[in-house]
Structure 1
Amino acid sequence: MKIGKIYIILILISVLSIKSVGAHPFYVSICQVEYNKETKSLEMALKVFADDLLLGLENEGITKLFLGEEKENPKTDEYIFEYLKSQMKFKINQKDAEYSYVGKEMENSVVWIYLEITNINDLQTAEVETKLLTEVRVTQNNIVQINKNGEIKNMLLNKDKTVDSVQF
């Protein structure tokens, strides 16, 4: 097993086990991408810490969202999607791919954001460019895990490495 895979697994275990609402020791997002050959789509679940996401949005001038609270701003989903589009880009089979926003849900101190890329007849290559939250946390890591029919490929992106690609 390569050092990179061990590092990713350790980060995943650490992040997935953190449940507290307070400060967290790691600055990481996890984007799980699943190729669904029946719907010919990439279904994505992005997990980010709520406080980090709010800092990223504040950096864009968006404040007072009250994320996950009863008084949440009705435009929160729109703001999150616009922020993500400015931070994350995908190329599928060497073509730019736009994703749509499906929704979000809160889980303790994290936000799950659901996205989808449609009209993917077959997944051969995927390139991801992300600067997600690196403007607010210099130690931010962004893990992308892509699953095609049980074959899983991982990427570890950060401030110094914002683009990576995989082949199936």
Structure 2
Amino acid sequence: MHKLKYILLFLCCAFFSVKAGTKHPLHVSTTEVNFNAKDKTLEVSCRIFSDDFEAILARLYKQKTDLSNPNMKSAMDVLVKKYLLAHLQLKANGKAVAMNYIGFEIDHEATNIYLEVEKVPTLKSVEVNDSILYDMFDDQMSIVHIVKGNNRKSTKILYPEKKFTANF
């Protein structure tokens, strides 16, 4: 277990320390699902390298993409929402749940995307089906964190695998 924590720490450091303009050697995204017991929601955030994300959006949807251009924000929201809802699905307590797209923001070289699942009164299990950027890279890695209170479960999913289930 400690070995996995060190690997995840290394990958996160590598992911978040890429200098602007430098091609990154890793194809990795992170997804965190946080159970908010007070609001009875699942708060979902994804972090994806912006250059890779823009490239797949342009390729799939055949239009110009620029996630950092404020004048294109509403058009980019449409594409980001469409892509994320097609490549990330959740089940809570064994049942598929609908995610509401909240929005995205650029943070240095990464794009952070936010979604939410409402009306989750209790949480016994979460299944994540994550194929973000799988249609771009065959060495894609997804780091997934599921958090319920002080209990955090993390894993890495390597292409072509897509699923991770955490039980509480």
Asked if Structure 1 and Structure 2 have the same fold, meaning a TM-score greater than 0.5 normalized by the shorter chain, the answer is yes
Aligned pairs for 1:127-166 within 5 A: 127-166=127-166
Match of 2:33 in 1: 33
Query: Which is richer in helix?
Result: 2
Asked if 1 retains the 8 angstrom alpha-carbon contact of 2:58 and 2:65, the reply is: no
1:30-60, Cα deviation, whole Å (9 max, x unpaired): 1122111000001112111111111221231
RMSD between aligned residues: 1.5
1:143-166, Cα deviation, whole Å (9 max, x unpaired): 110110011001312322111211
Match of 2:61 in 1: 61
| Unmatched runs of 5 consecutive residues or more in structure 1 | none
Aligned pairs for 1:40-79 within 5 A: 40-72=40-72, 74-79=74-79
Bigger shift: 10-19 or 106-115?
Answer: 10-19
1:58-112, Cα deviation, whole Å (9 max, x unpaired): 2313321221124325321011111111111111100001101111111111111
Asked if 2 retains the 8 angstrom alpha-carbon contact of 1:31 and 1:44, the reply is: yes
| Unmatched runs of 5 consecutive residues or more in structure 2 | none
Q: Distance in 1 between matches of 2:121 and 2:14?
A: 35
Match of 1:85 in 2: 85
User: Percent of counterpart pairs with the same letter?
Assistant: 26
Bigger shift: 62-71 or 97-106?
Answer: 62-71
Match of 1:96 in 2: 96
Cα deviation for residue 2 of structure 1 reads 4.8
C-alpha spacing 1:70/1:22, structure 2 compared with 1 (3 Å): farther
Paired residue total:
168
Report the residue type matching 1:105 in the other structure: E
Q: Distance in 2 between matches of 1:59 and 1:125?
A: 35
Asked if 2 retains the 8 angstrom alpha-carbon contact of 1:94 and 1:127, the reply is: yes
Report the residue type matching 1:112 in the other structure: N
Moved over 4 A (4+): none
Q: Which TM-score applies when normalising by structure 2? A: 0.92
Q: Which TM-score applies when normalising by structure 1? A: 0.92
